[in-house]
A and B are shown apart, each in its own frame.
Chain A
Amino acid sequence: MIELNGITKVYRTGSQSLEALRGISLGIGKGEFVSVMGPSGSGKSTLMNIVGCLDTPTAGEYVLDGENVAGLTFDELAAVRNRKIGFVFQNFNLLPYATAWENVELPMLFDGKNAKKRRERVTELLNAVGLLDWRDHRPTELSGGQQQRIALARALANDPPILLADEPTGNLDSKSGEEIMAILTELWQGGRTIVMVTHNDHIAACSERIIRLFDGQVVA
């Protein structure tokens, strides 16, 4: 599902250059649940950004679901993010002025799905995360756990094969965190590929495999 070959990312600021990723090669199979761990500055976020098609590598090859995404344009990458990848962020990143319903609907709007399909899918997803009754509430009127569940529903809107979760429980109390992990586990059991960044060994234990990064390289 995800194949990285010799991925290098170098950040340049003026004369300084920082090598965030040094020739990373790894593969993640379809339906795998993988955790990415490592100390701050080890390149976790950079790796996630590249895997999530938010950023492009300086060198190396990235094949996502059989498609080499290295040479795609900005809008082509946007389409890939829209259809193949669902994002779950540590700080939820919901649109503050949009209702729960609208936040979930948004990726489908960008994909040009018709109103009927959108309505059915949003209803289905809000039901699945148990927040259908909260559909007209804005993010500020929801608890952190509820917001993250809305974010999860949004990530699944276009039914992407891959879910990328960046510290999904980092801003949540333990109970809400457990709820989120339960949903992620369920999704993985349903056949979805999940890549999760975390600092928390307990959380990482939910996954099948742990990739450890140090200084921009895979150490285990």
Chain B
Amino acid sequence: MNATLPRFFWSEYRKRHKRAALITFALFWGTLSILLLMAFGQGMSTQFQVAFKGLGETLIMVYGGQTSLPFEGLPKGRPIALYPEDIDYLKDRIPEILRIAPESYNFLPVSANGKEINRTVHGTTAEFGVMRTQVPQLGGRFLNAADAAEGRKVAFIGWKVATDLFGSADAVGKTIVIARVPFTVVGVLQKKIQDSMYNGPDAEQVYLPFHSYQQIDNRRRINQIHIQPREDSQSKLIESRVKTLLGRKYRFDPDDRYATSFWNTIDDAKEGMAIFKGIEIFLSIIGALTLLIGAVGVTNLMYAAAKERTKEIGIKLAIGARRRTIIAQFFLETVFVFTKGTFWGFITAFNIVHLIRLAPINYDSFGIEAYLLRPEFSLRILVIYVVVLGVLCFLSGIFPALRASRANPIESLRYE
């Protein structure tokens, strides 16, 4: 390669720059579309995962129920309840369990600072905090093992509860009264987006150590058990073991679908991810089709160039240009047109994505903006884009280039 051929190409290109401008715009637009659509697709996917982790990661929730099958002489329709001792009973017998925690709750009056509100108050253990992503704000903590061991009257509260009771003041260290029993706030939940919940978002909940909770709610039975498996893949195995073990203890058929029920977030997450992957692919295809319009424009431009340059091609062939020289020239031009159009599209898309990401998300009314305002770029998007671009560039350049190179030198020389 040398400077003369690129300069020739530039001279030839400049003659068509007005027509090329429109095609450059089409490529710009196509690049913008494919990159933004992919960034939004991936951003939504990521936000879905983030929101899902708001409830907890790889979580199996176990609830009691009512038998629907007779078992060992017992009739169907018996209620099955869960009790605090089931925690150790299951943990000792199922080695696949990494963490396990009980949870009881009741709607109770909570007062402080001269205000009274009704909120769902929960009793649970320290492990619950890890499983249910209860991340404390700076200066606070979740419930811990010492709280349980010493029977401390402490509470971990959602950020909305903190605001409702204390306004903008720091809630940690303050006292709240629940069912006439005072509790010291040891932590406030950090803001998070959460798309799955029971009894409302965690922002509005109050958590107490399990034994302290039992002093204000004297029901023996617990509402649910949270289990985190060592590996995601063990979730189904754990479910069936829990059924078998609880069935043995409370005497119901392990195949009884209504004696106990499960909320397996691992399955939900897989399903959700499949949907968002589908959306991502769909958006990428739309983006690629938009870019295709630009590519068709380039093909058109290059065909026109091949025709306009018939005479020049004839001259070059006559003085000894090989076919591949002609092909290379057309390809160089196609690549140039593509680069010019797509470069600014790339820069623009990159900036738009980063600007959008600056927009704040309202954690108090978690809605569609939490999905839309966090588009993101990744190496994967870049690779897909470059591959799509490369294929389109090759396809839009190859046919005009081949046509130009197949020109008959004699006829081309006669062309005016």
Instruction: Answer whether residue A105 sits at the interface, using C-beta atoms and an 8 A cutoff.
Output: yes
Q: A89–B321 contact, CB under 8 A? A: no
Task: Identify B4's interface contact among A55, A79, A105, CB under 8 A.
Answer: A105
List chain A residues, Cβ under 8 A from B5: 109
Contact indicator B318/A87 (Cβ below 8 Å): yes
Give chain B interface residues in 321-353, CB to chain A under 8 Å: 321-325
- B12 proximity list for chain A (CB < 8 A): 97
**Partner among A52, A96, A110 whose Cβ is within 8 Å of the Cβ of B321:** A110
Minimum CB–CB distance for B52 against chain A, Å: 61
Tally of contact residues, A, Cβ under 8 A: 29
Q: Does A26 contact B (CB under 8 A)?
A: no
How far apart sit A34 and B312, CA to CA, in the bound complex (Å)? Answer: 29
Q: How far is the CA of A99 from the CA of B157 in the complex (A)?
A: 81
Given contacts A75-B322, A95-B8, A110-B322, contact A89 B413 (CB under 8 A): yes
Q: Is A205 engaged at the interface, CB distance under 8 Å to the other chain?
A: no
Name the one of B8, B316, B321 contacting A97, with C-beta atoms under 8 angstroms. Answer: B8
Contacts of A140 in B (CB 8 A): none
Residue B319 CB within 8 A of the other chain: yes
User: How many inter-chain contacts with C-beta < 8 Å in the A-B complex?
Assistant: 67
Residues on B with C-beta less than 8 A from A22 are: none
A93 at the binding interface (Cβ < 8 Å):
yes
| Cα A24 to Cα B328 with chains together (Å) | 38
Evaluate contact between B409 and A107: CB separation under 8 angstroms. Answer: no
Chain A positions 81 through 107: 1 when the CB is less than 8 Å from some CB of chain B, otherwise 0: 111000101000111111000100111
Nearest A-chain residue to B317, judged by Cβ: A78
For residue B304, CB closer than 8 A to chain A, the reply is no
Of A55, A93, A94, A111, the residue contacting B410 (CB under 8 A) is A55
Q: Which residues of A contact B7 (CB under 8 A)?
A: 102
A79 touches B322 (CB 8 A): yes
Question: By the criterion CB–CB under 8 Å, are B325 and A81 in contact?
Answer: no
- Chain A residue contacts of B316, Cβ below 8 A: 95, 106, 110
What distance in Å separates the Cβ of B16 from its nearest Cβ neighbour in chain A?
Answer: 12
Contacts of B311 in A (CB 8 A): 93
As a 0/1 sequence over residues 181 to 193 of chain A, the CB contacts with chain B under 8 angstroms (1 = contact) are 0000000000000
* A99: min CB distance to chain B, Å: 9
A87 to B409, CA, bound (A): 13
Decide: A107 and B319 in contact? CB cutoff 8 A. yes
> What is the CB-to-nearest-CB distance from A105 to chain B, in angstroms, rounded to a whole number?
6
Are B4 and A87 interface neighbours, CB within 8 A?
Answer: no
Give A75 to B320 CA distance when docked, in angstroms. Answer: 8
Interface mask (B1-45 → A, CB under 8 Å = 1, otherwise 0): 010110110011001000000000000000000000000000000
Contact call A102/B319, Cβ cutoff below 8 A: no
A75 to B311, CA, bound (A): 19
Residue of A nearest to B1 (CB): A109
The reply on B315 being an interface residue by CB < 8 A is yes
Given A97-B8, A98-B8, A105-B4, residue A81 in contact with residue B322 (CB < 8 A) = no
Q: When the two chains form their complex, are residues B8 and A102 in contact, meaning their CB atoms are under 8 A apart? A: yes
| Contact in complex: B323, A75 (CB < 8 Å) | yes
Beta-carbon contacts under 8 Å, B91-113 to A: none
Measured CA separation A89–B414 after assembly (Å):
11
Q: Which residues of A contact B325 (CB under 8 A)?
A: 110
- Answer yes or no: A115 CB below 8 A from chain B CBs: yes
Kindly provide the distance from the CB of B10 to the nearest chain A CB, expressed in whole angstroms: 9
Residues of chain A within 8 A of B319, CB atoms compared:
81-82, 87, 106-107, 110, 154
In the assembled complex, A72 has its CB within 8 A of some CB on chain B: no
- Residues of A with Cβ closer than 8 Å to B? 49, 52, 54-55, 74-75, 78-79, 81-83, 87, 89, 93-98, 102, 105-107, 109-111, 115, 154, 158
Q: Which 6 A-B pairs have the closest CB atoms?
A: A82-B320, A97-B11, A75-B322, A110-B320, A81-B320, A107-B319
10 more A-B residue pairs beyond the given contacts A54-B410, A87-B318, with a C-beta to C-beta distance below 8 A: A78-B317, A78-B323, A81-B319, A82-B319, A82-B321, A93-B314, A98-B8, A102-B4, A107-B320, A158-B320
